[in-house]
Amino acid sequence: MNVELEQYLVFPECSIREVMVSIDRNSGGIVFVVDQKRCLVGSISDGDVRRAILKGIQLDVPIKHLLDEGAKVDRRPVAAQNGTTGAELLRMMNEHSVRQIPIVNAEWQVLDIAFLSDLVKDYELPLRAVIMAGGYGVRLRPLTDELPKPMLPVGGQPLLQHTIEQLKKSGFSRVDLTTHYKANVIADHFGDGRDFGLQIEYIHEDSPLGTAGALREVEGCDGPLLVMNGDILTQLNFRALMDYHRDHKAFLTVGVRQYQVQVPYGVIECDGTAVTGISEKPKLSFFVNAGIYLLDPRARNYIPGGQRFDMTDLMQRLVQEGCPVVSFPIVEYWLDIGSPLDYEQAKQDATANGIVKPSVTIGIV
C-alpha cells in the first residue's frame, strides 16, 4: 500500500477525459470517486470509460453521468475497513474479482488502497501472447527487401522489440512469434527470449496461414490468448484489455480504434426528391479493427487446421454461431505501420526509451 492516493481519487464533477488521464497516470485501471470530505461515492473503471466511448458519450461529460447511469451512487464499490488483514483483503479480491480495494474508515473516507500486486508478489497476467510476424511488408518496399517489417528500426531498435518489452513489463512470461518471410532475421535477434526476460517460441509457417490460421499450432495454452499484428506500435494497457474481456465473458475481444473522416462537401439529406436538410462538411466516425485480439480458449475450436484463416473470418464465424464477440476501444497511443508515411510517423513518435507521444488520445487517426 502507501500508494500515491491522489492519483486514484476524483470528484463527481470531473470529466470523462480527466478520468482517462488519471487512469493512464496511475496505471491501476480504476479511479475512486469521492465527495468533498473524501468519502467514497463510487468507482469508474477503465472498462466503464471504454464502454462510454462505444456509446458515443462525449469525453467532456462529468463522470457523475456515468455514476447515475450505472446506479453506482447507491451501491458503493467494494471497500475494506482500516486494519483489515492481508489475508482478508486477498479473500475479498478473489470473491469480487478485483485487483484493488480502497481502505476506508468508519465514515467511509478513503485512507489508502490495497493492491493485489502488493499482496501477491511476482503477480503475472494469466495470458500468452502470439505476435503475427510473418508478413512480406510489400507496401514498405524497398525497406523490407532485406528486413521483415517487424524488424524495421524504430527509436533505435526493431519495431517488434518495443512490443515484446511492453509485454514483459505488463507481466507476460511467454510470447509466440509466427514467422514466414525472412524468419531467420527475427529468430537471430530474439533467440529464446532470455535476453528480453521472457520465453519466446516460434511457429514457422511454410505457407502463410493468415492472421488466425496458425493459432491452432499454439501448444500448452489453456487460458486467454492475446493475438497482435507484428506491425503495430502501441501503448495499450493489456491488463485493462484482460479485465474487459473477463467482465464481458467474451469468446473474442477485438481491439478497435475510432477513425473519423471529414467529408469535404456539404451533404444533402433527401427523402425521395425532396431535400430535407444539409450537413456542411460532416465528420463520419467509425470504429476500425486495430489488429489486437484476446481469445478465450473456446474460440480456437472454431479455427480450421492447416488452411489460411484470418481473424476476420473467425469473427464472422463466432458471430454466426451466437458466441459473444465484443469490441474494446483503444484510447492509448496506437499506430499501424502499413505505409512509408506511417513508418516515418513511428520513427518520430518513438525513441529507444519508449513512445514519446501523449498516451491518452482519441479522435481522428
**Predicted local distance difference test score (pLDDT) of residue 360:** 45
As assigned by CATH, the class of the 5-119 domain is: alpha beta
For the structural domain made of 128-355, what CATH number should be given?
Answer: 3.90.550.10
**CB-count exposure of residue 157 (10 Å: 0-12, 13-18, 19+):** middle
The pLDDT-based confidence of 329 (bands split at 50, 70, 90) is very high
Query: Domain locations in the chain?
Result: 5-119, 128-355
Lowest mean pLDDT among 75-79, 161-165, 255-259, 260-264: 75-79
> Tens digit of pLDDT for each residue in 123-135?
555 678 899 887 7
Which residue in this structure is represented by grid cell 478465450? 296
Q: Smallest Cα–Cα separation from 180: which of 217, 205, 147?
A: 205
| Cβ proximity of 151 and 141 under 8 Å | no
Question: Collapsing DSSP states into helix, strand and coil, what is residue 203?
Answer: strand
Q: Smallest Cα–Cα separation from 300: which of 247, 365, 355, 226?
A: 226
State the pairing for strand pair 128-132/225-229.
parallel
> How many Å is the maximal CA-CA distance in the chain?
73
| Cβ proximity of 179 and 205 under 8 Å | yes
| pTM listed for this prediction | 0.76
Close Cβ partners of 157 (under 8 Å, ≥ 6 residues apart): 352
